[in-house]
Chains A and B, each alone.
Chain A
Amino acid sequence: MPANPATDPAGRTLVGMASANAQGITLDPIDETTMVVNMGPQHPSTHGVLRLVMELDGETIVRCTPHIGYVHTGIEKTGEYQTYMKAVTITDRMDYLSAHINNLAYTLAVEKLLGIEIPPRAQALRVMLSEIQRIASHLVWLATHALDIGAMTAYFYAFRDREKLLDLTEMMSGVRLMPSWIVPGGLRGDAPDGWFERCAAVVDELPMRFREYETLLDQNPIWRERTQGVGCITVDECLNLGVSGPTLRASGMAYDVRKVAPYSGFERYDFHVPVGTFGDVYDRYRVRLAEMRQSREILKQAIETMPDGPVRVGDRKVAPPPRQELETAMEAVIHHFKLWTEGIRPPAGEAYVPVESPKGEIGFYLVSDGSNKPWRMHERPPSFMNLQALPGLCQGRLIADVVAIIGSIDIVLGEIDR
Chain B
Amino acid sequence: MSDAAKPGALTDAERLQALMPQAVISIDVSAGDVRVMVRRESIVDVARLLHDDPEFLYTFFSECLGVDYLDVHTGASIQGKAHRFEVVYNLCSLQDPASGALRNRRLFLKVPVPAADPEVPSVTSVFRGAEFPEREVYDLLGIRFSGHPDLRRILMSDDWSGHPLRKDYPLGGERVQFPGGTTGPSVGECVVQHAGESFTGRTGSVLGDVE
Contacts and interface: CB of A to CB of B under 8 A. Distances in A.
Interface of A: 68-69, 72, 74, 76-78, 80-81, 112-113, 115, 167, 170-174, 188-189, 192-195, 197-198, 201, 236, 239-244, 253-255, 257, 259-263, 320, 323, 336-337, 340-341, 348-354, 361, 363, 365, 367, 369, 375-376, 378, 380, 384-385, 387-388, 417-418
B193 A341 contact: yes
Given A72-B155, A239-B94, A388-B131, 13 more contacts: A77-B165, A172-B204, A255-B94, A255-B102, A261-B2, A262-B1, A320-B198, A323-B199, A337-B195, A340-B195, A369-B79, A384-B136, A418-B155
B181 interface: no
Interface in B179-211: 187, 193-200, 202-205, 207-208, 210-211
Contacts of A385: 62-63, 129, 132-133
Interface string B1-40: 1100100000000000000000000000011010100000
A259 B102 CA distance: 9
Closest 7 CB pairs of A and B: A242-B129, A171-B204, A192-B205, A174-B203, A69-B155, A241-B129, A260-B104
Q: Which of B1, B5, B195, B202 gathers the greatest number of chain A CB atoms within 10 Å?
A: B202
B42 interface: no
B99 to A, nearest CB: 14
B151 interface: no
14 contacts: A80-B171, A81-B171, A192-B205, A241-B129, A242-B127, A242-B130, A242-B133, A253-B102, A261-B2, A320-B199, A365-B90, A367-B67, A385-B62, A387-B132
Interface of B: 1-2, 5, 30-31, 33, 35, 59-63, 65, 67-69, 78-79, 88, 90, 94, 102-104, 106, 108, 127-133, 136, 140, 153-157, 164-165, 171, 187, 193-200, 202-205, 207-208, 210-211
Contact of A195 (B1, B132, B204): B204
Contacts of B164: 74, 77
A170 B207 CA distance: 10
B134 to A, nearest CB: 11
A383 to B, nearest CB: 11
* Chain A contact residues, majority secondary structure: mixed
A76 B140 CA distance: 10
A341 B195 contact: yes
B201 to A, nearest CB: 8
A262 B2 contact: yes
A166 to B, nearest CB: 12
A242 B62 contact: yes
Contacts of B127: 240-242
Contacts of B130: 242
Nearest to B207: A171
A242 to B, nearest CB: 3
Contacts of B132: 384-385, 387-388
Contact of A340 (B69, B156, B197): B197
B103 A260 contact: yes
